[in-house]
Structure 1
């Protein structure tokens, strides 16, 4: 698409350039610059523990020296299986200084998922929480693992929280005995013994791989997206250009989105370090705990997922907490319902906008302008240096504004490809264009609408139904807290619409009343034919509702019903 056809540029903030200048330097340079400019500024706040930028950089240097001393080489894959804690930040940047490749690993992985990721990546070193050590130990001999570095949340808690935390683990039967044997190391011990001298980055090219970021595996086994130093540097700077009012060395970023998820890694950790911000870390999302931290520590930026905002605005005692410090939020990982946006902004006085991205793009490609023209229900407009087009899946031709099709993206944040999967890479990247697999449309102003993932679209009686549209209507109902819409088999229509619903506390509505409500707001063919009322919806670690889990449950229930009828 030619520059003059990028209609979205008309809606760019005057402070944001369409094209940015990116330095030829590795991601680690951000940390060194922030530590040089603000050595005594708080880099991390973690449950009462406060770490300054000079202290953080010193610990990163130490860990890089320690890893090198134990034999980790440039280009080696190192798995980081940690929650949001100081060790996660230290490990991440230490591996990058060494020229290694970070493999972000979800601590909630089961043995099968963990074994696949470690085998596929060829990981030889893992840095993990003590709470998941037993899972690592069970699959260690099936992989290439040579070194296991173990740490615990308590290692970076202030006194007396560290003692109390350890006692609680013991009381709950969750303390894990780590064997003293070759190949198993204590994070805190090796850090204390390591050199504190500056560690010169071993990265010689921006095209070197910084990360293997594994996709969720929704289309089969998880694939490792190869993200280079250029990809990650670019996306952080694109983010900074969008949040242009943020003050270098003057912000506090709330870190609840997990760093092992690409969104949290880029928009919280890497952006925060680049901006010399204070990272306020929480190892897990807990509504009451989050409200207390926001009230006390006063973060100014809060990247999050819709379910986080939903949880906060629906807390029964929300009025006793002060959220007024929050100035800007970009919501990612899932669609943001309009009613959630409006309520959160009313509570905070800040701005909450929806963005869009995917693992293969490091991850962000779009967002609504934070302080200028935004369009509710859209993912906003493409970020600097990012090209987008809507393609007709049947003809392969570009669609006009208002017409739906497959969203394709081209830009410097697009991955190098999938690790050891050349054919899979060719399927999704052609002539530099990444096929997202999402169905979207662009309006005359260049704002993009995600109608749904190609595989999530429901075809009922020949009509195309996009779950998000139905979910928006359900979220507007005053008694509904969460909703997810899926297609289920139907002998007459092919598929029919099913809505899975969670009510707000002490609220409920009958199926008949809900059906009447939907018929007033939706075309008849879009109205759910089946309603299921649930205590909760299945979610990913970043709070994204897992429609595929609900769909699989529905398929299994249908099969069981068929068997009963058959017998």
Structure 2
């Protein structure tokens, strides 16, 4: 069926793709055959001697595939089998790439785990997923140790950031880290193993495991309309399809020649699919950046390593164009950037293009669709405020919020955005009710975002159906934060909202608090309490105390009133 957006596909972008029937394990094995001596991972920690010495390490596709085989052998010998869940709690690093592909090579399921999680948040995810194995950085061990008896964890694999580095980087990093205040020395125990030792001990001879394209490869936790985060089950087919859809959207990409700036986290599905899987699909060099802050760190690495593709979030691009010394950096190696997670103003897109010579466009994705669904054409027509048009083999429509009836494209109506394609998840783990409410019988994923469209088939988000907050590129459920606020002994009532920030391009987490009679908590006191129980990006940046909260006749807090008040304040200041 013809769609209006097909007219805006760039030359070389197909309407439909002949998908390569590769599992994720096959994907890396093929890259190792096709690009054996090309750099797969370029791990950059810092520069010394005026940039002449890089503290980090490189690995070819041949070496990476061998390391994956060694880790897969180790995991199998330790008892990991097909269908088992492996929690991966790592920053961007070669360890993450090795662990991910080793797990899927055995048919195990990767459970992406945010390294900033508190013990409380980590416990929920480990319990819900049923993970029995976890791979984590030594610095994160205290948080696991605190709650481990409450989980099913049988095996702990501890990684050190210097494990995969050669001399002198390994010596320099090890020496400096051991002097740091946050250094954690993990002592060997019967069920605690060390990443570096496993790579040395085991041969690259994993068992051959029969894999199916519809086997689940990943549990990616995401917020929902109710309750705690739930795991979207993404299959080998889902993830491989999305990597190939991205590849099709960038027909100018050169296999074996591109350099991917991997500054967005792999533990987030956006970073994992776009920065890692798509790179392996095309044999690109993955410039692995463990920490994108401060933004000049990203700028320095981009300049030094000559990155060509840079997926990111609006806050990154805004930080770059507003950096006081941006004119001192040569960023003109950048060719293409796709921004996700929050709205991207057109003036940011244009200014970034002026500085780099590359093209920056906005796209839309969700965990439940692996994640990319719509993108503005990279070198074609991009429209201000639009999330773009559907990528190949993806259909999109808008349905009336009351009746569920399809609305015509280009009409005045606003409704819920629905998407359908091979990248849409299998469902939520152990949540059949939530699955049925999100993916209907015809395969349409109901996104929860209220959209409008124009006659060309470009889509525009106008509001969120859910109360989800997007902070620093991550989804925050207000209920998660509110539950912690209600734990505070001085808090009587609390509500949390996301206030759109005009400069950062994402939301500010703000808490409105009503104190108990006779109590006078301070904003800093509330924030410090939240830091004990929440990941940093969930901690309210702002806290406002009120005598009462706006409510409906039946006592439901009117979040929208609070958000509108905040928007009005920002507008008045501007």
Q: TM-score range by the shorter chain?
A: 0.7 to 0.9
**1:12 paired residue number:** 9
Distance in 1 (alpha carbons) for counterparts of 2:175 and 2:355 = 38
Aligned 8 A contact 1:84 1:259 in 2: yes
Q: Are 2:33 and 1:23 aligned? A: no
Among residues 18, 42, 51, which one is paired with 1:45 in the alignment?
42
Gaps of 5+ in 2: 45-55, 470-496, 513-530, 551-574
**2:296 paired residue number:** 288
Distance in 2 (alpha carbons) for counterparts of 1:395 and 1:314 = 45
Q: Are 2:396 and 1:388 aligned? A: yes
Among residues 86, 93, 102, which one is paired with 1:94 in the alignment?
102
Q: Are 2:421 and 1:424 aligned? A: no
Task: Quote how far apart the aligned CAs of 1:484 are.
Answer: 4.5
Distance in 2 (alpha carbons) for counterparts of 1:223 and 1:484 = 22
3-state DSSP of counterpart to 1:388: strand
**CA 1:324–1:542: 2 relative to 1, 3 Å:** farther
CA RMSD, aligned part only?
2.6
Among residues 380, 384, 393, which one is paired with 1:372 in the alignment?
380
Distance in 1 (alpha carbons) for counterparts of 2:384 and 2:208 = 43
Distance in 2 (alpha carbons) for counterparts of 1:81 and 1:316 = 35
Moved more, 148-157 or 251-260: 148-157
Gaps of 5+ in 1: 459-466, 490-537, 563-567
Aligned 8 A contact 1:77 1:102 in 2: yes
- What do the CA deviations read for 1:80-120 (whole angstroms, capped 9, x no partner)? 11000001000000000000000010111101110000000
Distance in 2 (alpha carbons) for counterparts of 1:44 and 1:487 = 39
**1:434 paired residue number:** 445
Moved more, 27-36 or 93-102: 27-36
Distance in 2 (alpha carbons) for counterparts of 1:364 and 1:253 = 17
**Residues 39-438 of structure 1 mapped to structure 2, 5 A cutoff:** 39-47=36-44, 48-197=56-205, 199=206, 202-216=209-223, 219-286=226-293, 287-400=295-408, 401-402=410-411, 403-431=413-441, 432-438=443-449
Task: Quote how far apart the aligned CAs of 1:264 are.
Answer: 0.2
3-state DSSP of counterpart to 1:83: coil
**CA 1:240–1:418: 2 relative to 1, 3 Å:** same
- What do the CA deviations read for 1:516-560 (whole angstroms, capped 9, x no partner)? xxxxxxxxxxxxxxxxxxxxxx9xx999x87x956xx56x62357
Distance in 1 (alpha carbons) for counterparts of 2:396 and 2:147 = 42
Distance in 2 (alpha carbons) for counterparts of 1:253 and 1:320 = 22
3-state DSSP of counterpart to 2:545: helix
3-state DSSP of counterpart to 1:156: coil
> If the length of structure 2 is used for normalisation, what is the TM-score?
0.81
**CA 1:424–1:77: 2 relative to 1, 3 Å:** same
Q: Are 2:565 and 1:557 aligned? A: no
3-state DSSP of counterpart to 1:22: coil
Moved more, 311-320 or 356-365: 311-320
> If the length of structure 1 is used for normalisation, what is the TM-score?
0.82
Moved more, 261-270 or 428-437: 428-437
Distance in 2 (alpha carbons) for counterparts of 1:433 and 1:17 = 22
